[in-house]
Structure 1
Amino acid sequence: MFKLSAVLAPQRPEESLLALKDKIAYFKDVGLEGIEPSIPDPWRIDIKALRDMVDEYGLKVSAISTGLGYVWHGWSLSSGSEEVRKKAIEAIKKHIENAQELGAPVIIGLIRGYGEEPLEACMSRFKESLRECIAHAEDHGITLLIEPINRYETRLLNKVDDVIKLIKEMGSDKLRLMVDTYHMNIEERNIGVALMRSRKYLAYVHVADNNRLAPGYGHVDFKSIMGILKEMGYDSFLSLEILPFPDFRRAIRDGAIYLRMLMKLLSNKSS
């Protein structure tokens, strides 16, 4: 069955992930198997110390999130500024090297950029950047995960089919699809059908309800989604990327409890 993880992100640029040890311990306490560190600057983190801290609690780094590089630093793989684009490429390359130490894939989400006009030229720049990142990932044996993100946050690669088309074009087994139930709820006409189409490419799943809160706090049909994932043979991580409501600990706890309940129902159904 699935493994559970959650995003752990600093709340301000000067905050270190290494100062969040109590939250990592809490992940273990509520039964998570993984942690997804959100790393805004890959040059300013002690990867060995992070690995040791995660190992201390018997957890696994499920993936490395890179979006804060765009949110806080403005790095964009599709930027019309060559300086900005090159900085984003170098950041992803450094994330890949860090990922080799952690044994984790690297997510390419918001760091692709918003999508400047003209959009065709913007996508061309993104593909050029991505090819360079893929070559580095192949050299280091690391998988890159491309996430479809809703139209309100980016104009590039909003739907599952957009990313599948890109993966086919790039032609590398180190480029895979990840999905996020929050974005899918906005962009996909039928989440289940989109998931079935992703079978050959899917390697990672973000879970959040339609309001970006913990699963069970909104209207997304997680029982159906998880049933389809199970039928597809997906057995990797479901990673909680959620708002900290009513607070961080309760959000993580409630999300984990809800997903575990559904996993138990699915397990009982198949036995």
Structure 2
Amino acid sequence: MKFAICQELFEGWDWEKQCEYSASIGYTGLEVAPFALAETLSDISSDQRKELKSTAEKHGLEIIGLHWLLAKTEGLHLTTADDAVRAATSDYLIQLGDLCGDLGGTVMVFGSPFQRNLEEGTSYEQAFDRAVDVFKKAMPRIADRGVSLLMEPLTTKETNFVNTCDQAAEMIAAVDNPYFALHQDVKAMLGEGTPLPGIIEKHKDITRHFHVNDTNLLGPGMGETDYHPIFQALLDSGYDGWVSVEVFDYSPGAEKICEESMAYMKQVLADLEKSNS
């Protein structure tokens, strides 16, 4: 199982320090939030992209991809009735695909709840069709970079559009591109009210990436969720992608979150190995 850390929790840390520290804890991947690198994508030059990648590699890390794709942007929206805004959103996703590819990443997680919420007067069916159109227009160029764009179901507390893995699977079927697939997030799946092993098994064929966290917005092992059945289900499903720690409450500090999450995940794997032997 390959462990990565979502690096936006390292507030105020320079890139070199982020890489050096993450590697020292045992992470082998970094997942990047674009806003944590620069205010705009155009601010990240070709030379800077090469430097970010080479610095990570120097510390034995892979930049696995991007998430929070539309966070802190303006004029972008997935389901709006405004054709021009949706076209701009497709174009921006293509630019993100180029950034991801330049950094050596292979996955982009589409969460961005505020930029996908249904506008007043928009039905779910209308929003669905608009989102599919946005993704279909962007996918050929993204796929050309060897990058997968992944739909992330989120809870009803965060968005009113695509709240379950079943709904995401419907969108994946409609977009119909092998590089458009499913992202699963523990905190979000806990909101579905269905045991997580069953969700993991049901959607194993389209799942390309996995976020670990808990309903308290902290990392695995820092809340009440038992990860033994979750990791067992991932192992049973043959999942061979990244398991990436994504938290939303940074108050304990980056070091505590990184270290406790890693220690817990390693302990869960050790427990499972012992029980399965």
Partner of residue 179 from structure 1, selected from 169, 174, 184 = 184
Correspondent of 2:254 among 229, 248, 255: 248
Q: Is the aligned partner of 1:31 residue 2:15?
A: no
Which residue is equivalent to 2:161?
156
Instruction: Within 5 Å, give how 1:226-241 maps onto structure 2.
Output: 226-241=231-246
1:205 touches 1:239 (CA, 8 Å); kept in 2? yes
Distance 2:18 2:53 in 1: 15
Alignment of 1:1-271 (within 5 A): 2-9=1-8, 19-40=14-35, 41-45=40-44, 46-67=48-69, 69-73=70-74, 75-101=76-102, 102-110=104-112, 113-117=116-120, 118-119=122-123, 120-242=125-247, 243-271=249-277
What's the CA shift for 1:230? Answer: 0.5
Conservation of the 8 A alpha-carbon contact between 1:213 and 1:245: no
Q: CA deviation at 1:122?
A: 2.4
- Contact kept in structure 1, 2:9 and 2:254, CA below 8 Å: no
CA 1:245–1:267 in 2, change beyond 3 Å: closer, same or farther? farther
Deviation of 1:225 (Å): 0.4
Alpha carbons 1:208, 1:241 under 8 Å: kept: yes
> Is 2:97–2:142's contact at 8 Å kept on the other side of the alignment?
yes
Kept in 2, the 8 Å contact 1:195–1:229? The answer is yes
Deviations 1:155-180 (A, max 9, x none): 11110111111112222111111100
The count of residues paired between Structure 1 and Structure 2 equals: 265
Name stretches of at least 5 consecutive residues in structure 2 with no aligned partner.
none
Moved more, 40-49 or 246-255: 40-49
Residue pair 2:77, 2:86 contacting (<8 A) in 1 also: yes
**Distance in 2 between residues matched to 1:222 and 1:182, nearest whole Å:** 12
Report deviation, 1:146: 1.1
Is this contact kept in 1: 2:34–2:68, CA < 8 A? yes
Structure 2 length normalisation: TM-score? 0.88
Q: CA deviation at 1:11?
A: 8.0
The amino acid that maps onto 1:64 is L
Deviation of 1:114 after TM superposition, in Å, equals 1.6
| 1:13-43 CA-partner distances (Å, limit 9, x unpaired) | xx8x8x3321221110100010001003333
* Superposition deviation, residue 72 in structure 1: 4.4
Distance 2:10 2:28 in 1: 23
Give yes or no for contact 1:6–1:35 (8 Å, CA) kept in 2.
yes
> Could you tell me the TM-score, scaled by structure 1's length?
0.90
The root-mean-square deviation of aligned C-alpha atoms, in Å, is 2.0
Q: In percent, how many aligned pairs have the same letter?
A: 21
Residues 39-75 of structure 1: per-residue CA shift (max 9 Å, x gap): 03333223212111211111011221133x3344352
* Amino acid aligned to 2:271: L
CA separation of 1:130 and 1:85: change in aligned 2, threshold 3 A: same
Gaps of 5+ in 1: none
